[in-house]
């Protein structure tokens, strides 16, 4: 399952993410990964979640980010859910126009690896592409 939470800064996306990650820790049978830029969520998210700070990797494109997702799955077949906080903070050079190609890669990863992916996108909902709209929830 792919889910996108979309809205401008201050719309409550990060709170939803924190709650969803902590809920997944208690429900999922496998490992839960949370990807964020910086360490600001470290104290809000259960320590059982694998936290990945994207500042460490200097990710320049959504293609590189998709490669990192593939690497996570290749390293740990027990990952059942990946949460991505504010994708445009993790990949500052990315834009809304890049999202459709990225979502195609995420769709393949979801199908191939049976992983759920939830991501936060900080833009107005009216800016969402048609491909993005089918995952907004």
Domain ranges for the chain, please list them. 2-133
pLDDT of residue 35: 95
* pLDDT higher than 80, residue 10: no
CA dist list (Å): 70 to 12, 46, 78, 79, 105? 28, 24, 13, 11, 9
pLDDT of residue 1: 92
pLDDT of residue 5: 93
pLDDT of residue 12: 80
Q: Cα separation of 7 and 12, whole Å? A: 8
* pLDDT higher than 90, residue 9: no
> pTM for the complete prediction?
0.93
pLDDT of residue 121: 93
CATH class of the domain whose range is 2-133: alpha beta
Identify the DSSP state of 122: -
Tens of pLDDT along 63-112? 999 999 999 999 998 999 999 998 999 999 999 999 999 999 999 999 99
Residues whose CB is less than 8 angstroms from the CB of residue 52 and which lie 6 or more positions away in sequence, other chains included: 33, 34, 35, 36, 68, 72
3-class DSSP assignment, residue 53 = strand
Which run of H or of E encompasses 112? Answer: helix 99-113
Which run of H or of E encompasses 121? Answer: strand 116-121
Average confidence score pLDDT of the chain: 92
Tens of pLDDT along 15-54? 888 999 999 999 988 999 999 998 888 888 989 999 999 9
pLDDT of residue 114: 92
CA dist list (Å): 100 to 26, 50, 73, 115? 32, 27, 21, 19
* pLDDT higher than 90, residue 8: no
Residues whose CB is less than 8 angstroms from the CB of residue 137 and which lie 6 or more positions away in sequence, other chains included: 3, 4, 5
């Amino acid at each position: 399952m792919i889910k996108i939470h979309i809205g401008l800064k201050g719309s409550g996306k990060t709170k939803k993410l924190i709650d969803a990650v902590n809920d997944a820790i208690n429900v999922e049978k496998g490992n839960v990964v949370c990807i964020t830029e910086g360490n600001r969520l470290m104290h809000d998210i259960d320590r059982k979640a694998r936290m990945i700070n994207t500042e460490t990797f200097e990710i320049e494109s959504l293609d590189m980010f998709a490669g990192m997702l593939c690497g996570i799955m290749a390293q740990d077949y027990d990952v059942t859910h990946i949460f991505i906080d504010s994708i445009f903070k993790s990949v500052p050079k990315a834009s809304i126009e890049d999202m459709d190609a990225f979502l195609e890669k995420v769709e393949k990863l979801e199908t191939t690896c049976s992983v759920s992916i939830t991501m936060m996108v900080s833009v107005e909902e009216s800016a969402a592409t048609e491909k993005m709209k089918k995952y907004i929830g």
